[in-house]
Amino acid sequence: MSKILVGIVMGSDSDLEVMKKAGQILDKFEIGYKMDIISAHRTPDIAHEYAVNAEGSGLEVIIAGAGGAAHLAGVVASLTPLPVIGVPMHTQSLGGIDSLLSIAQMPSGVPVATMAIGKAGAKNAAILAAQILAVRFPDIRERVSAYKKEIAGEVMEKNKKLQHERCSAKVS
């Protein structure tokens, strides 16, 4: 079993469906992680404790997903020297532009590495976590490079399929 290097936190259990995508990518990269539901606003003390203890507990990167006035990533980033990645959730009324701005527009001094809104952002958070860990673990960089080739291959495969379909359509 791999050491837990990444902490995934999310503000609500309604974010789980999206944030699981991050977990799946980390599984693929064989990077150990833990996953918690911690609300910056409803469980502030737990969020505080989580962030303060993150470094000591061996985490190297934190991924935080939240929506609306999405403060979780910023709250965690304010309390740890670890790199923090923020995933803005889609919101029903404003589509997630509120989440995106609440995460990206951090003041000077406390960065949050902001991802795209929703599932693409959750996946990319895990890939970025891998890229960060790869600064120290060369085998993770190899997996990242292999993954880039894999997704390139998928696009190429889809293009091949498209050409085949169009070719068949013309012949018939």
Q: Using CB under 8 A as the criterion, what x/- string covers residues 6-45 for binding a second copy?
A: -----xxx--x------------------xxxxxxxxxxx
Distance CA 160, CA 158 (A): 5
Taking CB under 8 A as the criterion, which residues in 38-67 touch a second copy? 38-46, 48, 55, 60-61, 67
151-170 binders of a second copy (CB under 8 A):
151-152, 154-156, 158-159, 161-163, 166
Q: Between 65 and 117, name the residue whose CB sits nearer to a second copy.
A: 117
Length of the chain: 172
74 near a second copy, rule: CB under 8 A: yes
Distance CA 172, CA 83 (A): 56
- Smallest distance, a second copy to C-beta of residue 127, A: 5
Fill in the per-residue mask, 85 to 114: x = in contact with a second copy (CB under 8 A), - = not in contact: x----xxxxxxxxx-xxxxxxxxxxxxxxx
Cα dihedral 69, 75, 77, 78 in deg (nearest 10): 130
Closest separation in Å from C-beta 30 to a second copy: 14
- Give the residue with the Cβ less far from a second copy, 65 or 100: 100
